[in-house]
């Protein structure tokens, strides 16, 4: 099942994709019947309380940065304000001259969990979507840590929907294309730490809440992007996330995007 979050006639609601329409998930949604998807604005699928990210979860990515392979997950956080949805621009900040894409599988939590084992983790996961851990590479090198380099507004595109029926998240083909050219291609089978193991590990540190997102790391091939580019993250059996790239002075947030939501995620 593909669960999408949309705005239609000033109402934000969650629905399931049925052909070319969206059917509201809740009977309490003040929208009657299915809505043509081309008449709705597709938003980021969740508004997380936090975004937990993994560094160097693919050996190939660690090798291209001459980084030792981690013996346990390397975690960092992105702020919720970094989230944008499909079709919204990745805005290049004036502080950076080298912004790069990082296509990743995103885990979306459906239930609050704390201290769960990997064997217990699956029921706590609502589903999976595409993510892009956009990074100001020059600031990452300058600062020696990730807060500024990965925390700018628009630096966490996710979407376009949540796929709830992924039988094996540890064996999915992942590709990132820039202007139609493949920049990254791998499979989640190459992850050092698998998605449910990651959920377990993170839950031993912090409580994961419904709608929280875990970005599971990127393979090799992350390249610089520039204004006018189109970045496309494709994940087998999950979806395709497309975002344009724009200079700060050219970009305007889509009216009614993150920040004025009226409903809680139905992920419990």
The domain of 39 spans 1-43
Map tokens 């029921």 to a residue: 123
Give 138's DSSP letter: H
Residue 266: count of CB within 10 angstroms of its CB: 15
What are 172-210's pLDDT values in tens digits? 999 999 999 999 999 999 999 999 999 999 999 999 999
pLDDT value for 261: 46
Say whether both 23 and 133 belong to one domain.
Answer: no
Dihedral sign for Cα atoms in the order 151, 51, 265, 205: negative
Nearest Cα to Cα of residue 87 among 267, 237, 233: 233
Cα separation, 170 vs 226, in Å, equals 31
- Please provide the DSSP assignment of 12-68 as one string: EEEEEEETTEEEES-TTSS--S-EEGGGSEEPPS---S-EEEEES-BHHHHHHTT-P
Say whether both 203 and 221 belong to one domain.
Answer: yes
Say whether both 132 and 153 belong to one domain.
Answer: yes
Say whether both 64 and 139 belong to one domain.
Answer: yes
What are 157-176's pLDDT values in tens digits? 999 999 999 989 999 999 99
Q: What is the mean pLDDT of residues 230-259?
A: 81
**Percent of the chain predicted with pLDDT > 70:** 93
3-state helix, strand, coil in the chain (%, to 5): 15, 40, 50
Say whether both 92 and 210 belong to one domain.
Answer: yes
* Residues 158 and 233: beta-carbon distance below 8 Å: no
Residues 6+ apart with CB under 8 A from 25: 3, 13, 14, 15, 16, 266
Say whether both 62 and 94 belong to one domain.
Answer: yes
Say whether both 84 and 216 belong to one domain.
Answer: yes
pLDDT value for 264: 46
Burial of 224 (0-12, 13-18, 19+ CB in 10 A): middle
Residue 162 lies in a domain: yes
The yes-or-no verdict on residue 153 having pLDDT over 60 is yes
Residue 8 sits in a domain whose CATH number is: 2.30.30
Residues 6+ apart with CB under 8 A from 61: 217, 218, 219, 220, 222
- Phi, psi at 80, each rounded to 5°: -55, -25
pTM of the model: 0.92
Say whether both 66 and 189 belong to one domain.
Answer: yes
pLDDT value for 63: 83
The yes-or-no verdict on residue 78 having pLDDT over 80 is yes
Cα separation, 151 vs 143, in Å, equals 13
Label residue 265 by pLDDT band (50, 70, 90).
very low
Nearest Cα to Cα of residue 163 among 236, 239, 85, 105: 239
Say whether both 63 and 111 belong to one domain.
Answer: yes
Higher pLDDT, 68 or 119: 119
Map tokens 């839950």 to a residue: 203
Map tokens 């376009």 to a residue: 160
């Amino acid at each position: 099942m593909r669960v999408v979050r949309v705005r239609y006639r000033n109402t934000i609601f969650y629905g399931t994709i049925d052909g070319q329409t969206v059917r509201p998930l809740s009977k309490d949604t003040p929208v009657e019947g299915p809505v043509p998807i081309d008449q709705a604005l597709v938003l980021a699928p969740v508004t997380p309380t936090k975004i937990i990210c993994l560094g160097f979860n693919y050996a190939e990515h660690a090798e291209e940065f001459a980084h030792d392979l981690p013996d346990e997950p390397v975690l960092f956080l992105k702020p919720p304000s970094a989230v944008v949805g499909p079709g919204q621009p990745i805005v290049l900040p004036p502080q950076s001259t080298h912004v790069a894409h990082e296509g990743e599988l995103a885990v979306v939590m459906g239930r609050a969990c704390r201290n769960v084992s990997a064997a217990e983790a699956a029921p706590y996961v609502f589903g999976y979507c595409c993510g892009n851990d956009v990074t100001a590479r020059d600031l990452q090198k300058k600062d020696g840590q990730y807060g500024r380099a990965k925390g700018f507004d628009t630096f966490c595109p996710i979407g376009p929907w949540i796929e709830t029926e992924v039988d094996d998240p540890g064996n999915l083909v992942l590709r990132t294309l820039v202007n139609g050219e493949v920049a990254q291609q791998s499979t989640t089978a190459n992850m050092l730490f698998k998605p449910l193991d990651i959920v377990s590990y993170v839950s031993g540190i912090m409580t994961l809440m419904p709608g929280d997102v875990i970005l599971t790391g990127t393979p090799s091939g992350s390249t610089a992007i520039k204004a006018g580019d189109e970045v496309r993250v494709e994940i087998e059996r999950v979806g395709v996330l497309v975002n344009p790239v724009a200079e700060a002075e050219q970009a305007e947030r889509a009216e009614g995007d993150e920040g004025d939501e009226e409903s809680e995620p139905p992920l419990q």
